[in-house]
Amino acid sequence: MRPVIPDEKPILKGLQSYYLHLPKFIEHHRNEVAACAIHLKSAVSEGVLYLDSGECVGAFCRSGSTTLQDEPAVASLLDAAARQNFQISVYEIDPALVHLWANSINARLLHRDLTSDITDLDRLIAKMAKERLTGFIEAATHDGAISGILFFHAGDIVHGALSSSGTPQSIEAVRERLNEAIKAKGGTFQVSTIPDREERRSIEVNGASGAPGENRAAANPPRQAAKGDRSLIPALEELLRLVESLCREQRKSADFGALWRKAALHAADRYGFLDPFAKEFHYAEGKIRLEVPVEDRLLASGVLECVQAIIGSLGLTGRFKEKAAAWFAEHAALLNDLGIREAAGGPVSKS
């Protein structure tokens, strides 16, 4: 797959690496931006680093026919920047989509060489939406004159790009152009899926704090946001047990499961992993189990929205505020890092 960069939200564009200290530039964005892609392009090579919550979680570099990933890619880019000029751009990414972009290079082909006489783009998109694809569809006319790519996250299209366009275009514009061209000329489709993340990666960027070979992890411990991987689920389990106890006080303990399913179903259009029919999120006997990887901020926002709906439906907002005060105090730093604040009606995401 050719490199595709999530370029809808530029932070900086077209900086010249000759005028930058690249390791310090990376360090700055590790500390200042929740999630971003740093794109580097020169006459002979191209690469990208994906940053999330202060950590580098993916990287690749291409030079000629050689492709490198992760630590070797970072090392190659830092080394090349000392000898050649790169144009550097930085793009903000939704933290929920970092895994998609950082692992797109590892995608596995799901459907090869589907032709337009078998299906069309709209029908294929509908099928992938129903199957909740995380991956992408590559589409091209038979003569290769028009080609493009549509990226999916849990069945939703989140990015589109045309090979012939050097400027960002809307998803609808890309989809319409591909549809028109393939209907007129015929074409083929390739569908690829991106594997689930087994565990969060943290790629070392040697020298990123300014001294060659310095290990940033030793010199500068990860920020509190990175701790969420370990502490978020236990914290949410504690909160759900608290809500269950409030239900018991109302003699509705047997109804907690039904109340949760109703709230989760209502929230599923925003938090797909909560859909009771998808069976990707389980809560039973005080424990949470996830069948798919879910970004921390998305997980916290979804669970807390359901909590707010349950306590509101039972008329327990005041009692909940009283009982949950200690929980909010204990986990204030974690919630703040995830963009959650406590409001009068319950916990909500920051605007």
* Pairwise CA distance, residues 99 & 197, whole Å: 7
pLDDT by residue (tens digit) across 10-50?
Answer: 999 888 888 788 888 888 888 788 899 999 999 888 999 99
- pLDDT: which is higher, 343 or 92: 92
Residues 250 and 314: beta-carbon distance below 8 Å: yes
Contact 154, 134 (CB under 8 A): yes
Higher model confidence: residue 230 or residue 202?
A: 202
State pLDDT tens for residues 187-208.
Answer: 999 999 998 765 566 888 865 4
- For 144-198, the pLDDT digits (tens) are 999 999 999 999 999 999 987 667 789 999 999 999 999 999 999 999 999 876 5
SS3 129: helix
Nearest C-alpha neighbor of 139 from the set 97, 101, 89, 192: 192
How far apart CA 316 and CA 310 sit, in angstroms, is 9
0.85 surpassed by pTM: no
DSSP string, 214-246: --HHHHSPPPHHHHHHHHHHHHHHHHHHHHHHH
- Locate the domains of the chain by residue range: 1-100, 108-193, 224-349
Please state, as a whole number, how many other Cβ atoms lie within 10 Å of the Cβ of residue 285.
5
Question: What would the DSSP string read from start to end of 6-27?
Answer: --SSEEEEEEEGGGS-HHHHHH
